[in-house]
């Protein structure tokens, strides 16, 4: 695959002190292979451990690394919005900062981006706890009913965008887990072309997942209803 001219990469981190350095250093090696100009944005979502300290140390060692820090833990959607708003290049990719994806597989997404406005990953086999599988299937049904959406893996944390496509769906409102639904629902409303690519998924080695707790689920339901109202009563 030929190198792309520009690529903004970002990772949302929340209490990932045991993952962040490995994730970023692997991404640096990949970025050098796939892009002529690149940046890596480390978005810290109000971590209470040493994640931000490590991010700042990494950034001090490499001018292509950028730190964006939120003083409080606002949620996954807020972290993604920080990444999108700070990305400066014409292609923007994010993946989760918990080492459950192999960033080298960004090449699979890049191969499809000329055919689409955005390319979203779907996990070949999801390797996390069974309750998360139940939630994923419920989300598929929920999004189909509310938004007419059906994708193989709506909340897969590996997505690539053309910057011009992102601009068409801005601003994003969701602060929590419904951010991925909001992205896809607004993309559908704007008739953007979305390609899907299979990616590998790996078990989390360090840290805790928060996506299955009651607070996150209640917030997601509330945000999805707000999104439905916004989409159905928007003037355009």
Whether a cis peptide bond, with omega within 30° of 0, leads into 131 is: no
Q: How far apart are the first and last CA of the chain?
A: 38
Q: What is 57-108 written as a DSSP string?
A: HHHHH-TTEEEEEESS---HHHHHHHHHHH--SSEEEEE-SSS-S-GGGHHH
Region 206-225 average pLDDT: 76
The answer to whether 40 touches 28, Cβ cutoff 8 Å, is: yes
If pLDDT is split at 50, 70 and 90, which confidence band does 215 have? confident
Say if residue 203 is exposed, middle or buried (CB neighbours under 10 Å; 0-12, 13-18, 19+). Answer: exposed
For the whole model, what pTM was predicted?
A: 0.91
Domains by residue range for the chain, with CATH: 4-233 (3.90.550.10)
Beta-carbon contacts of 80 under 8 Å, excluding residues fewer than 6 positions away, are 12, 43, 94, 172, 179
pLDDT tens, residue by residue, 88-113: 999 999 999 999 999 999 999 999 99
- What local confidence, expressed as pLDDT, does residue 236 receive? 47
């Amino acid at each position: 695959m030929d190198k792309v001219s520009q690529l903004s990469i970002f990772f949302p981190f929340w209490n990932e002190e045991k993952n962040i350095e490995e994730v970023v250093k692997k991404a640096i090696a990949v970025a050098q292979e796939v892009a002529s100009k690149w940046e890596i944005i480390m978005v810290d979502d109000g971590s209470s451990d040493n994640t931000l300290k490590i991010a700042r140390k990494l950034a001090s060692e490499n001018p292509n690394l950028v730190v964006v820090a939120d003083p409080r833990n606002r949620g996954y959607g807020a972290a993604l919005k920080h990444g999108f708003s700070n990305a400066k290049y014409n292609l923007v990719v994010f993946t989760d900062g918990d080492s459950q994806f192999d960033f080298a597989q960004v090449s699979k997404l890049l191969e499809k981006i000329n055919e689409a406005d955005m390319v979203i990953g779907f996990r070949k086999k999801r390797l996390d706890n069974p309750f998360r599988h139940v939630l994923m299937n419920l989300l598929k049904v929920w999004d189909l009913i509310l938004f007419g959406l059906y994708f193989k893996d709506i909340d897969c944390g590996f997505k690539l965008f053309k910057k011009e496509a992102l601009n068409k769906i801005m601003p994003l409102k969701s602060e929590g887990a419904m951010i991925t639904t909001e992205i896809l629902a607004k993309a559908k409303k704007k008739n953007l072309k979305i390609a899907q690519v299979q990616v590998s998924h790996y078990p989390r080695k360090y840290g805790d997942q928060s996506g299955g707790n009651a607070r996150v689920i209640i917030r997601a339901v509330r945000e999805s209803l707000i999104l439905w109202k916004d989409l159905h009563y928007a003037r355009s």
